[in-house]
């Protein structure tokens, strides 16, 4: 080949490589431009900073989601969809199942005994950072729609770019709400108002967002949207298998301090129907939001979480409410839809997930290191088996000093509850063979070694979790072989004696906060002691028996309005 031909070929080769280089650079530019658009556009955002949408019900029972209850007569396909297209957590539990502590723990990742939010008379202390604060500081658009309830203020919080506050106890219709600094009357149903607000936000916010949709439903009063009024009038809900009240080896506290009881199966049906009428609106709300995210093309770039602030019971042991250390109150639904982490139909069922895990999970999704001393772990770590929890502590810390605090230890095998009473007051349930927690085993000799081990577990967990609260023992005890406690606590005789037989002191609880004079008579009808008991005080009633010998006695209580009498026994 001559020199001219060689040079011509060399020039062509250079032109070819220059063209390839130009194409590569152009392709790289297009990729980078698309990535930039992908990270900024309102319809295609970066997976490294997903949107986060948290839908929190209020007082939602585990069985309120139909996929959790094979006997449910109310389908929840929209709520179920989140779990069916993502992750369902089968063992999600609260560490303190009541509004303020539950929400504060979700936000902060810490137990209430750390943050100060231990009951509904306290609040989350400002020194503890919450995940909305952290996300806001990291550039997220943050919004609150609904209940806040970790303090007593309705004023906008600086960590939220959007503030639509609804009251703790709402009438659902024509109630006063707050939009930023302005109050207004919500003329429609609050469930609809909150849903519409979230739909508007996700349609216009073009940066990664974190929206807290904190529904009031299905918290009482049970006032549904008009279209759901009476929808269950002809329906019958299955009565819980543990509906009968405890009559043996139960703590006096559970039938006296909250005073929410289900008298019979008729009341159970009535309350349950009303509860589900209100829940129906929340189910529709979830469907509207999922459909909107899908229509906008951002559903798979959004972590959608559905949960509740605490569990709830209507009927088990004829109790109604929350905070009790029982399964129906502690256990909560939790479903997360986020394809980058969880394949459709995923589950966690071999480890406990707790509400302190909530905040670490959000930070993990946002790519923010967990440097805030949180006591939980990201759900992703539990799902990937890099973290496992086989036991946890639950706490009950009532507002009233006269009511016993409770600490509980739960494992897959047993639950141990300790009530801080003057008399030893404990519960031990076999969670393998007695999932309904019907039989307290503390008096069973076959379980004394287990009882001893769980007492040690509780002490160890309190130390590990830095539970240094000072706990005062109060007058309460374990009732052995009694009548139905609902009959005992009726208007016929509003007093509970313990211990019976008595020895040195007779402790008396009254369901009526009033002052009574008392007289004690022996079996011969002789008056042996008199005095006054003030049941309005935190001390309750205590009668000293130092000068009283063994025998059967009659106690008479009276004031200007009432007169009561009952027998008790003294053995020394």
Q: Identify the CA nearest to 293 among candidates 216, 212, 190, 201.
A: 201
Q: Which CATH number fits domain 51-389: 3.40.50.300, 3.30.420.40, 3.40.720.10, 3.30.70.60?
A: 3.40.720.10
Tally the residues of the chain. 572
**What is the reported pLDDT for 538?**
54
Distance CA(274)–CA(283), nearest Å, equals 15
**What is the reported pLDDT for 539?**
54
Residues in contact with 67: Cβ distance below 8 Å, sequence separation at least 6, in sequence order: 76, 79, 80, 83, 84, 88
| CB burial of residue 190 (10 Å; 0-12, 13-18, 19+) | buried
Sign of the CA dihedral running 484, 489, 494, 498: positive
How far, in whole angstroms, is CA 408 from its chain's centroid? 15
Run of H or E including 306 = strand 302-308
CA atoms within 13 A on the CB side of 94: 36
- DSSP letters, 276-305, are HHHHHHHHHHHHHHHHHHHHTT-GGGEEEE
Kindly report the number of other CB atoms within 10 A of residue 185's CB atom. Answer: 9
Distance CA(177)–CA(167), nearest Å, equals 7
With a cut of 70, which residues of the chain have pLDDT below it?
1-48, 257-259, 482-493, 511, 524-525, 537-540, 560-563
Instruction: Give this prediction's pTM.
Output: 0.79
- Quick check: 547 and 560 in contact, CB under 8 A? no
What the block records as the tokens of 262 is 């289900």
Q: Identify the CA nearest to 73 among candidates 229, 232, 243.
A: 232
| CATH architecture of the domain with residue range 493-570 | Sandwich (2.60)
**What is the reported pLDDT for 419?**
97
Sign of the CA dihedral running 381, 387, 392, 397: negative
Domain ranges of the chain: 51-389, 493-570
Distance CA(75)–CA(168), nearest Å, equals 27
Residues in contact with 111: Cβ distance below 8 Å, sequence separation at least 6, in sequence order: 95, 96, 105, 356, 375, 393, 395, 465, 467
Distance CA(405)–CA(323), nearest Å, equals 11
Kindly report the number of other CB atoms within 10 A of residue 205's CB atom. Answer: 16
| CB burial of residue 429 (10 Å; 0-12, 13-18, 19+) | buried
Run of H or E including 176 = strand 173-179
**What is the reported pLDDT for 41?**
35
Q: Identify the CA nearest to 472 among candidates 424, 413, 404.
A: 404
Distance CA(519)–CA(532), nearest Å, equals 9
Run of H or E including 107 = helix 99-108
Which residues partner with 209 through β-bridges?
Answer: 141
How far, in whole angstroms, is CA 195 from its chain's centroid? 22
96-113 pLDDT tens trace: 999 999 999 999 999 999
CA atoms within 13 A on the CB side of 67: 21
Sign of the CA dihedral running 145, 151, 155, 156: negative
Kindly report the number of other CB atoms within 10 A of residue 468's CB atom. Answer: 9
CA dihedral angle for residue 191, residue 192, residue 193, residue 196, rounded to 10 degrees:
120
């Amino acid at each position: 080949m001559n020199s001219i031909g060689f040079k011509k070929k060399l020039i062509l080769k250079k032109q070819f490589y220059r063209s390839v280089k130009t194409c590569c650079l152009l392709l790289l530019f297009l990729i980078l431009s698309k990535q930039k658009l992908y990270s900024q556009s309102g319809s295609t955002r970066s997976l490294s900073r997903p949107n986060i949408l948290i839908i929190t019900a209020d007082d939602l029972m585990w069985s309120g989601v139909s996929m959790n209850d094979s006997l449910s007569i109310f389908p929840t396909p929209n709520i179920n969809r989140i779990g069916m297209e993502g992750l369902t957590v089968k063992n999600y539990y609260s560490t303190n199942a009541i509004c303020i502590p539950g929400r504060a723990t979700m936000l902060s990742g810490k137990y209430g005994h750390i943050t100060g939010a231990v009951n509904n008379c306290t609040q989350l202390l400002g020194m503890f950072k919450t995940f909305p604060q952290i996300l806001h500081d990291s550039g997220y658009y943050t919004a609150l729609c609904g209940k806040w309830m970790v303090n007593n203020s309705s004023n906008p919080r600086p960590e939220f770019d959007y503030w639509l506050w609804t009251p703790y106890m709402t009438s659902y219709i024509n109630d006063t709400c707050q939009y930023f600094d302005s109050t207004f009357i919500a003329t429609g149903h609050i469930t609809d108002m909150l849903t519409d607000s979230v739909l508007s936000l996700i349609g216009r916010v073009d940066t990664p967002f974190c929206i807290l949709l904190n529904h009031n439903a299905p918290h009482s009063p049970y006032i549904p949207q008009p279209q759901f009024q009476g929808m269950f009038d002809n329906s019958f809900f299955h009565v819980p298998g543990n509906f009968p009240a405890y009559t043996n080896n139960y703590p006096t506290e559970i039938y006296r301090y909250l005073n929410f009881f289900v008298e019979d199966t008729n009341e159970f049906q009535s309350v349950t129907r009303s509860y589900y009428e209100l829940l129906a609106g929340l189910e529709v709300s979830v469907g509207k939001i999922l459909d909107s995210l899908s229509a906008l093309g951002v559903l798979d770039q959004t972590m959608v979480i559905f949960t509740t602030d605490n569990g709830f019971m209507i009927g088990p042991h004829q109790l109604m409410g929350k905070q009790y250390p029982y399964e129906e109150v502690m256990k909560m639904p939790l479903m997360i839809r986020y394809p980058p982490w969880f394949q459709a139909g995923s589950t966690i069922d071999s480890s406990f997930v707790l509400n302190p895990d909530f905040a670490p999970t959000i930070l993990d999704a946002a790519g923010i290191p967990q440097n805030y001393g949180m006591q939980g772990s990201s759900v992703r770590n539990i799902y990937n088996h890099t973290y496992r929890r086989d036991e946890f502590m639950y706490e009950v810390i009532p507002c009233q000093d006269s009511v016993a605090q409770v600490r509980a230890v739960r494992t897959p095998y047993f639950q141990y509850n300790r009530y801080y009473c003057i008399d030893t007051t404990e519960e031990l349930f076999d969670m393998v063979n007695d999932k309904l927690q019907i039989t307290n085993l503390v008096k069973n000799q076959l379980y004394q070694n287990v009882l001893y081990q769980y007492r040690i577990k509780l002490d160890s967990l309190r130390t590990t979790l830095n539970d240094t609260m000072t706990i005062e023992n109060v007058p309460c005890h374990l009732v052995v072989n009694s009548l139905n406690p609902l009959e005992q606590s009726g208007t016929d005789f509003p007093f509970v004696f313990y211990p019976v037989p008595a020895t040195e002191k007779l402790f008396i609880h009254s369901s009526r906060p009033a002052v009574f004079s008392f007289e004690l008579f022996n079996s011969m009808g002789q008056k042996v002691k008199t005095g006054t008991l003030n049941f309005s005080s935190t001390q309750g009633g205590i009668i000293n028996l130092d000068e009283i010998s063994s025998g059967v006695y009659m106690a008479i209580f009276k004031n200007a309005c009432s007169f009561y009498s009952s027998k008790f026994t003294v053995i020394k």
